[in-house]
């Protein structure tokens, strides 16, 4: 929450940080807030407001909630990175968070890596089939790693006889250390 004393138009603003840690605030635009304290962020907001808009801004920033639960989206997506898991996250939503798949992505080879009971698991999905409604959009959980059509998915599943890109149902396997 950002408050600018005696400027009601700029007070009580709930600002959510983007996945890259930046925030956008009226009049001053984007600020790289990742790693800053609330006092440091307040000082930057005040300085930017002082430049052109408010004579002597008194800014207070308070943290309402933090998001420590993230999913990693990697491979052939437009913006690979860590994305917060807010509410019910699905595979399609995770890829949309990363600004979608690249044009050359192999949507028939989308892998979800997850640790279940200290066991590394992987599932390969055909995203095109999910878009068609052939099967449900799988839920994504905090800590999952989603990899879209990269060579890494091909290396891990190279020993499987049926090509993953032809499958309409997910393939789930356990990954043993060292393989």
3-state per-residue secondary structure call for 161-179 = CCCHHHCCCCEEEECCCCC
How confident is residue 115, by pLDDT bands cut at 50, 70 and 90?
A: confident
pTM for the whole thing?
A: 0.52
CATH superfamily ID and name for 2-61: wza like domain (3.30.1950.10)
d(C-alpha 129, C-alpha 19), whole Å: 28
The CATH topology of domain 70-174 is Outer membrane lipoprotein wza fold like (3.10.560)
What's the confidence (pLDDT) of residue 154? 47
Domain boundaries, the chain: 2-61, 70-174
d(C-alpha 168, C-alpha 2), whole Å: 48
Report the largest interatomic distance among the alpha carbons of the chain, rounded to a whole angstrom.
Answer: 69
What's the confidence (pLDDT) of residue 66? 66
> What is the percent of the chain where pLDDT is above 70?
80
DSSP character at residue 87: S
Q: What is the mean pLDDT of residues 160-175?
A: 45
């Amino acid at each position: 929450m950002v408050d600018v004393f005696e400027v009601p138009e700029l007070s009580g603003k709930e600002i959510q940080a983007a996945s890259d840690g930046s925030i956008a605030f009226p009049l001053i635009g984007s600020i790289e807030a990742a790693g800053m304290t609330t006092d440091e962020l307040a000082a930057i907001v005040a300085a930017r407001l002082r430049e052109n808009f408010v004579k002597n801004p008194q800014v207070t920033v308070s943290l309402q909630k933090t998001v420590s639960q993230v999913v990693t989206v990697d491979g052939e997506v437009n913006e690979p990175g860590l994305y917060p898991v807010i509410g019910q996250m699905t595979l399609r939503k995770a890829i949309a968070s990363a600004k979608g798949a690249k044009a050359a992505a192999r949507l028939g080879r989308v892998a979800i890596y997850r640790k279940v009971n200290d066991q590394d698991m992987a599932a390969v999905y055909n995203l095109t089939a999910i878009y068609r409604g052939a099967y449900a959009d799988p839920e994504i959980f905090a800590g999952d790693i989603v990899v879209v059509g990269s060579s890494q998915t091909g290396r891990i599943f190279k020993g499987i006889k049926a090509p993953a890109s032809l499958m309409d149902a997910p393939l789930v396997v356990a990954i043993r250390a060292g393989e």
